[in-house]
Amino acid sequence: MNASTLAGIAQALEIQPHHQDWHAFVQRVETHGSHLHALLFSLYGQREDFEAQFTRILTTTARAWLERPADLKRLDAEREINPRWFQSEQMLGGIAYVDLFAGSLDGIRAKVPYFKELGLTYVHLMPLFKCPEGNSDGGYAVSSYREVNPSLGTLDQLRDLTRELRANGISLCLDFIFNHTSDEHEWARKALAGDPEYRDFYYIMSRAEADAYDRNLREIFPDQHPGAFTPLSHWTGTPANNAPSDPWVWTTFNSFQVDLRYENPAVFDAMAGEMLFLANAGVDVLRMDAVAFIWKQLGTICENLPEAHTLIQAFNALSRIAAPSLLFKSEAIVHPNDVAKYIRPDECQISYNPLLMALLRNSLATREVNLLAQAIQSRSKIHSDCAWVNYVRCHDDIGWTFSDEDASLLGINGYEHRRFLNQFYTGRFENSFARGLPFQENPKTGDARLSGMTAALAGLEKALADGNEFEIDLAIRRILLIHGIILSFGGIPLIYLNDEIGALNDYGFREDPHKAGDSRWVHRPVANWADYDLRQTTGTIQSRVYSGLRHLIDMRKAQPALATGVEAVETGNPHVLGYAHYHATGPLLVLANFSERPQMASAQTLHQQGLSWPAIDLITGNRVALHEDVALSPYQLAWLRPA
Ligand code: GLC
Ligand code: GLC
């Protein structure tokens, strides 16, 4: 790194060159600076003012480092020594909305004892920043990255919460919503009012230009607006006359979410400042929202472009310099080939595993494990410094993001099969146990996604309505089965809070005009603490789900083998999934019956894979002889260790 660049920055920030923090900064720049420079050069190097832009970005980084609180700097040092801290059988995540789960940030603080009871070491709080009143896409339209939504609390309360969580061994994950701001963000207000500096922060273009992009774009929220653009007249009130010269604004999601234009390095610099501000507030993990969409280029689908990766790597390099303990979690709900590309130690160290999530539900619907087994075989390996975040549910719709090419190898037509899954899970398919709602059905493409709580999708809602004890039991088994898989799949298991007590769909959103148009609200219930209390009362649904899950969590936390990646295992039975961990402490074999009938795993097939030892099932405590066929009851999950 050019010494005079650094000297210039020190001078601009009025810092003495022998200052201890400055010295640490210079050292980190020596390690990561040229990588950062190369990344930014590949994005912005064609500009004449590139070096000035680079210095500006490095200044933002230095400022953030100098402002970083001492306790976080200590954490940085700890995690630099132990960079795989998140790869542990102790890790367990939970997701919650601040308002819906506990009313406010202080309410969340009061739930820390509950988080500990459940065993959480990682909490993802849904967006809690200032956002438009009414519809804000659940907070995914941010009006200020530096202000907490006043109805939830203050920035100081957020800082207090991060400290309290950390003192209790819990990391905080917050979203970095960096593809767009809300239309009420100061930058957007200025841009929409015509300020030329801020117009450059967004994509504002003529209808003719917008059409040229739209030709290749996928519609993400077709219910909200066709294509990816909203007319500028929506804000200015000047009536549009649909002339090709009318200005339009890029809004991939809702009209009130305005896409940022990273082609402009000032946007990168501004967002770098916001990102490091969040890191300095004590956030451990940033969930990188909607990563697929952040770079646009005419003539492409504007998803998963190479520059999107470069951009995230540049943010990552900044954080290595100014907030080294920070982790990035990728939210790419796209084709599995594309999901994998975000997962690298120098890009996103952890990533949602949307394929596992979707295929767990696929197997519950079909009772077949073929797609799941294939995915474990060919798509579960990632860099050893990275980890999957395995989940059965999150706040979003479920998209059937398996690969059509993989499916066709098994004789499955992807298009038809997605149709079947949507029919099945919306309860339109005969004998379906599920009660989900369609999300963003697109009549033009036949595409649809799915909403619904885990319990409703697993059959509990229907079984309770039918008063069918037998079906209630099966539904609870399904819920525990898929959670047992995410708890034994390596990586970080993530529980969508309310699922742990078997909460059902919440149809109340239909009465709220700000929510009625978005079926995802059916699976965003207000936590019912009276129901939560029932987890302590033996025999209740809440207790049956909760205690089953708690038992699995206890078992997981006692098995270091479960922190590692998995290998596929054939079971000789199309309804039984198998995978194994091969660990220094010995193997751990998982068998999972995805049907409501008893099944056998073949001893001969297991033997051929070297899995033939006297075992103990950690879940039941029973001894199991692997040299005989292994009997599994309906939806049984077994975690087998050498006895
Ligand atoms: C992410 C969020 C989703 C939101 C979208 C737009 O995908 O998970 O809830 O609608 O980004 O910010
Ligand atoms: C975002 C949205 C999700 C959508 C996906 C499309 O993740 O939240 O609804 O399915 O983008 O890639």
Band the pLDDT of 223: cuts 50, 70, 90.
confident
Q: Which atom of ligand 2 is nearest to the CA of 331?
A: 7
296 — pLDDT class (breaks 50, 70, 90):
very high
* DSSP-assigned letter for residue 472: H
Whole-angstrom distance, CA of residue 52 vs CA of residue 365: 57
Cβ of residue 406 lying under 6 Å from some atom of ligand 1: no
List the residue whose alpha carbon is closest to atom 10 of ligand 1.
137
pLDDT score, position 442: 83
HSE-up (13 A, CA, CB side) for residue 363: 28
331 is catalytic: yes
Ligand nearest to the CA of 138: 1
Distance CA 344, CA 310 (A): 12
Indicate the top mutation candidate among 178, 220, 445, 518 to test ligand 2's pocket, ranked by most ligand atoms within 8 A of CB: 220
DSSP 379-392: H----TT-EEEEES
- Residue range 144-190, pLDDT digits in tens: 999 999 999 999 999 999 999 999 999 999 999 999 999 999 999 99
Rounded to the nearest angstrom, the distance between the alpha carbon of 398 and the centre of ligand 2 is: 9
Q: Out of 331, 333, 395, 450, give the residue to mutate to test ligand 2, the one with the largest number of ligand atoms within 8 Å of its CB.
A: 333
Helix then strand then coil, in percent of the chain rounded to 5, is 45, 15, 40
Write out pLDDT tens, residues 33-49. 999 999 999 999 999 99
Per residue, what are the HEC states of 226-281?
CCCEEECHHHHCCCCCCCCCCEEEECCCCCCEEEECCCCHHHHHHHHHHHHHHHHC
Tell me, in angstroms, the distance from the centre of ligand 1 to residue 136's CA: 11
Q: What is the mean pLDDT of residues 302-321?
A: 98
Report how far residue 614's alpha carbon sits from residue 619's, in angstroms, rounded to the nearest whole number.
Answer: 16
449 pocket-lining for ligand 2 (C-beta < 6 Å): yes
Residues whose CB falls within 8 Å of the CB of residue 507, separated by 6 or more in sequence, listed in order? 522
State the pLDDT confidence band at 243, using cuts at 50, 70 and 90: confident
Binding site membership of 320 for ligand 2 (Cβ less than 6 Å):
no
Q: How far is CA 642 from CA 560, 618, 626, 629, in A?
A: 14, 10, 10, 16
In this prediction, residue 240 carries a pLDDT of: 66
Query: What ligand 1 atom has the least distance to the C-alpha of 221?
Result: 10
Which helix (DSSP H) or strand (DSSP E) does residue 205 occupy?
Answer: strand 204-206
The Cα–Cα gap between 131 and 149 comes to 7
pTM for the whole structure: 0.95
Asked if residue 332 has its Cβ within 6 Å of ligand 2, the reply is no
Supply the pLDDT for residue 539: 97
Alpha carbon of 139 to ligand 1 centroid (Å):
9
Give the bridge partners for 567, in sequence order: 580
Give yes or no: 289 in active site. Answer: yes
Q: CA angle, 178 as apex, 177 and 182 as ends, to 5°?
A: 70
Identity (one letter) of the amino acid at 498? N
| Ligand 2 atom at shortest distance from the alpha carbon of 332 | 7
Q: What are phi and psi of 513, to 5 degrees?
A: -60, -25
Centroid of ligand 2 to alpha carbon of 25 (angstroms): 37
Measured in angstroms, how far is the CA atom of residue 290 from the centroid of ligand 1? 6
pLDDT the model gives residue 532: 98
Catalytic residue among 289, 347, 500, 506: 289
Q: Nearest to residue 21, comparing CAs of 61, 55, 51?
A: 61
Outline where 400-533 has alpha helix (H): 404-409, 414-425, 454-457, 460-466, 469-486, 529-533
| Average pLDDT of the residues in 592-618 | 97
Contacts of 194 (CB under 8 A, 6+ apart): none
Pocket of ligand 1 contains residue 397 by CB under 6 Å: no
Give the CA radius of gyration of the chain.
25
What does the block give as tokens for 25?
């900064």
**CA end-to-end span of the chain:** 57
More confident site: 246 or 302: 302
Nearest to 136 by CA among 102, 180, 176: 180
Q: What is the pLDDT of residue 560?
A: 95
Q: What ligand 2 atom has the least distance to the C-alpha of 449?
A: 10
What's the chain's average pLDDT? 96
Average pLDDT value for residue range 559-582: 96
Residue 137 CB less than 6 A away from ligand 2: no
Q: Which atom of ligand 1 is nearest to the CA of 395?
A: 9
Instruction: List, in sequence order, every beta strand (DSSP E) within 45-167.
Output: 93-96, 122-125, 129-130, 144-148
Residue 529, C-beta contacts closer than 8 angstroms, at least 6 positions apart: none
Neighbour-count burial of 18, counting CB atoms closer than 10 A to its CB (0-12 exposed, 13-18 middle, 19+ buried): exposed
**Residues 244-276: pLDDT tens digits?**
888 999 999 999 999 999 999 999 999 999 999
Is 354 within 8 Å of 343 (Cβ atoms)? no
pLDDT at 360 over 90: yes
- Does the pLDDT at position 237 exceed 90? no
Q: How many CB atoms lie within 10 A of CB 23?
A: 11
**Catalytic residue from among 76, 175, 331, 499:** 331
- Give 220 Cα–ligand 2 centroid separation in angstroms: 7
User: Residue with the nearest Cα to atom 5 of ligand 2?
Assistant: 333
What sign results for the dihedral spanned by CA atoms 186, 192, 197, 202? positive
Mind listing the pLDDT tens digit for each residue in 539-554? 999 999 999 999 999 9
**pLDDT confidence of residue 443:** 80
Which one of 140, 333, 351, 439 would you pick to mutate in the ligand 1 pocket, going by the greatest count of ligand atoms within 8 A of its CB? 140
Q: For residue 446, is pLDDT > 80?
A: no
For ligand 1, whether the C-beta of 289 sits within 6 Å is yes
Distance of alpha carbon 283 from alpha carbon 171, whole angstroms: 8
Residue 350: is it exposed, middle or buried by C-beta count within 10 angstroms (0-12/13-18/19+)?
buried
Please tell me the number of the ligand nearest to residue 440's CA: 2
CA of 3 to the centre of ligand 2 (A): 44
Q: Does any ligand 2 atom lie closer than 6 A to the CB of residue 397?
A: yes
Beta strand residue intervals within 309-418, DSSP E: 327-330, 350-352, 387-391
Q: Does residue 241 carry a pLDDT above 80?
A: no
What would the mean pLDDT of 16-44 be, rounded to a whole number? 94
Residue 615 and residue 642: Cα distance in Å, rounded? 4
Is any atom of ligand 1 closer than 6 Å to the C-beta of 396?
yes
